[in-house]
Structure 1
Amino acid sequence: MSNWVEAKVKDIVWWTDTLFSLIVNADVEPFKAGQFTKLSMMMDDKRIARAYSYVNSPDSADLEFYLINVADGLLSQQLAKLTPGDTVLIERRASGFFTLDEVPASEQLFMLSTGTAIGPFLSILEQGDVWQQFKHITLVHGVRLNADLSYQDKIAQLQQQYAQLHYLPVVSREPAIIGLNGRITSGIADGSLFTHCQSAVTPQNAQFMICGNPDMVKDTSALLTERGYTRNRRREPGQITVEQYW
C-alpha cells in the first residue's frame, strides 16, 4: 500500500498576504493530536515534500494545516496556488512525539509557540483530553505583527468551552493590541509571562510545551533551565517538551 494518498482541497483560508490555512479531505490513518504529516507535489518530475502539523482534532473529517507562503519556498508557493477541488499528496501515516502522552500531568501547562507553530497546540486543545491532565492552560503565541494572530475565532470558542484556558499573544514588532509586547523569551526573563497566572509557577506545578523555530526553542529552553526546569525524557520526566518547527 502506498504511503502517499491523494487529498482533495476543500478550502484555503488566507489570514494575511503570507499566512494561510489549507483544508483537505483524505483517507489517512488515525493520528494523535500534536503529530505532523507530509504534504507533497510533483515539480519537474521530482517530488517535493515538507512536514506540517495537523491543526485539526484527530476526530475531525477535515484535515487542516497552517502555513506561511515563503518567498523562496519550493512547496509552500505551490500549495498557496491551490484552489478547492485541486489535489495534493499527503502522507498516510503521521509522525512525531509532541503529544500529550509524552507530557507528565501537572497543575499548569504552558503552550509556547511562534508563528505557524501554534498549529499542533490547537489540535491538542480541540481534542479535549488535555483538560484531564491540567487544571490551567496558557496558550502563548509569539508573532511579529498583530495581524499575524490567526485563529482568533477558534481560540475564543475554546475559551468559551474551557474556562481554564488563558490566551496570551506576544507581539514583537509593533504595540500589542492584546497581550504582551516583545518576545516570549523576554516575557519569561522579566516574569511578565507568568504574572497573569493564578498561582506561582514552579517546576513542581508547571509543564512547558515549546514549539517554534530552532532558535526560539533553544533560547526558551535555556531560560527555563536557568529557573530549575529540566528537559522531559521518558526515563527521566522533566517539565520541558519541545518540537522544532520550520
Structure 2
Amino acid sequence: MAQWLNGEVIENYAWNQELFSLRVRTEPFNFIAGQFVRLGLEHDDGRVQRAYSLVNGPEEPILDFLVNRVHDGLFSPLLHQLQPGQRIEVSQPASGFFTLNEVPDGDSLWLMATGTGIGPYLSMLTTAEPWQRFQRIHLVHAVRYGADLAYQQQIMNWVKAHPNQLTYQPIVSREDYPGALRGRIPQLIESNQLQTAVGDVLTHRAQVMLCGNPEMIRDARALLNEMGLPKNLRRKPGNVTIEHYW
C-alpha cells in the first residue's frame, strides 16, 4: 500500500496557458530516473490522485512534474491552480520500470517522446548513466506547437556540454518552427527524415525508448519491429522500450 508524504508547492511555472511545471518540496526519498509517483489532493469526494513522472534527477532536492492541463479532466485543473505555499501529497515509493537499467547496451540511445512524455528523459539525462553507456544520444521531442517545447535552456546546456554525444531534435506538427521537423515521429522515421536530421541510423545496435501518445508508440513500435528492432522484454531483450503516458 502506498505511503504519502506531505509536500509544499514551491513554484507553478507556466510554459504556456496549458503546459506547466509544478515544483514541490518534500522530505528526501530515493528513486530511479524514469520512475513516477502519484500526486494527491483532497477534493469534495476525498483524495484525488494521478501518476506523474519525476522530471528532476534523483540527486535534486526539489521534485519537478511536467503537466498539461486537460480542461474536462478532474485533476490537472486542480494542479494548474496551485500556488506556492499550498500543500500536496506525494506517494511513496516511486514506481515504474521505464528506466535505463532495463535497457540493454548499445551504441546509440534514442529518447523519443510526445508532449509531457519528455519528462522521464530529462530525469535520466541528469544522471551519469546515459553519458557513460552510449556513444550517441538523440533526444527527440514531438509537440503540436513550438510553445510546447519546454525545458529548452536545460536541454541546450546539455547539448553544449556534450556536443559530440547529444543531439536534440524537436518535431512540431501544427506549425513551422525554426530547427524543428514537421510531422509525426513514425512517419519521420519511415521517410528517414529523422535519421538524416540527427545524422545517425537505426541499426540493431540502437536502443530506442518511446514515451507519450499511445498512437505514436503503437505506430513507431510496429515500424521499428519491421526494421529489425523488436520490443525489449526482460525475458527477451530487444531494442525498443516503451512507456504509455495515458
Question: Contact 1:37/1:94 (CA < 8 Å) preserved in 2?
Answer: yes
The answer to whether the aligner puts 1:185 opposite 2:186 as a matched pair is yes
Partner of 2:203: 202
Cα gap change, 1:20/1:199 in structure 2, threshold over 3 Å: closer, same or farther?
Answer: closer
The answer to whether the aligner puts 1:23 opposite 2:5 as a matched pair is no
The answer to whether the aligner puts 1:245 opposite 2:242 as a matched pair is no
Residue deviations 1:107-137 (CA, integer Å, cap 9, x gap): 1010010000000000001112111110100
Deviates more, 1:92-101 or 1:193-202: 193-202
Number of equivalent positions: 245
Cα gap change, 1:230/1:81 in structure 2, threshold over 3 Å: closer, same or farther?
Answer: same
Percent identity (aligned): 45
Q: Distance in 2 between matches of 1:55 and 1:241?
A: 18
Q: Distance in 1 between matches of 2:54 and 2:101?
A: 17
Identify unmatched segments of 5+ residues in structure 1. Answer: none
Question: Contact 1:34/1:99 (CA < 8 Å) preserved in 2?
Answer: yes
Q: Distance in 2 between matches of 1:198 and 1:187?
A: 13
Measure how far apart 1:92 and its partner are: 2.1
Equivalences for 1:224-239 in 2 at 5 Å? 224-239=224-239
Partner of 1:139: 139
The answer to whether the aligner puts 1:13 opposite 2:23 as a matched pair is no
TM-score by length of 1: 0.96
Q: Distance in 2 between matches of 1:69 and 1:199?
A: 35
Question: Contact 1:111/1:121 (CA < 8 Å) preserved in 2?
Answer: yes
Q: Distance in 2 between matches of 1:200 and 1:114?
A: 21
Q: Distance in 2 between matches of 1:215 and 1:18?
A: 22
Partner of 2:76: 76
Question: Contact 1:41/1:49 (CA < 8 Å) preserved in 2?
Answer: yes
**Runs of 4+ deviating beyond 3 Å:** 196-200
Question: Contact 2:2/2:93 (CA < 8 Å) preserved in 1?
Answer: no
Q: Distance in 1 between matches of 2:197 and 2:42?
A: 48
Q: Distance in 1 between matches of 2:240 and 2:212?
A: 14
TM-score by length of 2: 0.96
Partner of 2:174: 173
Identify unmatched segments of 5+ residues in structure 2. Answer: none
Matched letter for residue 155 of structure 2: I
Measure how far apart 1:57 and its partner are: 0.4
3-state SS of 1:170 partner: strand
Question: Contact 1:36/1:96 (CA < 8 Å) preserved in 2?
Answer: yes
3-state SS of 1:116 partner: helix
Q: Distance in 2 between matches of 1:89 and 1:41?
A: 6
3-state SS of 2:84 partner: coil
Question: Contact 1:28/1:92 (CA < 8 Å) preserved in 2?
Answer: no
Measure how far apart 1:179 and its partner are: 2.0
Equivalences for 1:72-151 in 2 at 5 Å? 72-151=72-151
3-state SS of 2:197 partner: coil
Q: Distance in 2 between matches of 1:220 and 1:13?
A: 32
Matched letter for residue 244 of structure 1: H
Equivalences for 1:53-68 in 2 at 5 Å? 53-68=53-68
Q: Distance in 2 between matches of 1:131 and 1:32?
A: 16
Question: Contact 2:110/2:139 (CA < 8 Å) preserved in 1?
Answer: yes
Residue deviations 1:175-203 (CA, integer Å, cap 9, x gap): 12212011111111101110134443311
Q: Distance in 2 between matches of 1:70 and 1:211?
A: 19
